Amino acid sequence: MTSTISPKFSRAALGTLAAGALAFASATPALADDHRDRDRGGIGAGEIIAGAVVIGGIAALAGAFDGDRDRWDRRDRRGWRGDGFRGGGARGAVERCVRAAENQARRFGGWRFADVTEIRDVDRTRFGFRVQGRMVVEGSPRFRGRNFDRGRFTCRLDGRGAPRIDFDGIRGLR
């Protein structure tokens, strides 16, 4: 049977342990000083042990406040937290729509380059997100004369499959 310990509890326990180690380390040199054996100018074994304990306590404190943040940030990026959308919330929806609009313009429109220049609106709908923006395409051998075009796109994303893209004002795409 496995048990999970919350990050707050483990951080508090580690802090208590480090504080105890520091208190023990400060008492160790005083106990190591024996009045019968005078120091001859060198470093004694008690001082070495005390230094190692102090350094270990500092390292434990530094490690306690360092590692958990990255794990929670990864969960945020994947969309496990936030506004309930598995694809990363509104930011994830925008990223998926931009990537899908550019790929569809290149693949199905025959344009060599496609670039989303502006995101005009991001709306949370009943089923997911609707993202509207502007894009520029260029480099199609199908169209003579003006070798570029500009237009708008609307992307509907419900989180269950590929985004649905509608283009407006770009030759070769609808």
Supply the pTM of this predicted model: 0.50
DSSP-derived letter for residue 30 is H
φ/ψ bin of 88: left (φ > 0), alpha (ψ from -120 to 50), beta (otherwise):
left
CA 3 to chain centroid, in Å, comes to: 26
Query: Residue 154: beta bridge partners?
Result: 132, 166
Residue type, 170: I
Instruction: Report the distance separating Cα 82 and Cα 60, nearest Å.
Output: 31
pLDDT of residue 27: 58
> Could you read off the pLDDT of 70-88 as tens digits, one per residue?
444 444 444 444 444 455 7
The Cα-based distances of 78 to 14, 71, 89, 98, 126 in angstroms read: 29, 11, 9, 17, 21
The Cα-based distances of 3 to 6, 10, 15, 111 in angstroms read: 10, 13, 21, 55
> Could you read off the pLDDT of 89-103 as tens digits, one per residue?
889 899 999 999 999
pLDDT of residue 118: 95
**Would you say 174 and 167 are in contact if contact means Cβ atoms under 8 Å apart?**
yes
**Would you say 45 and 31 are in contact if contact means Cβ atoms under 8 Å apart?**
no
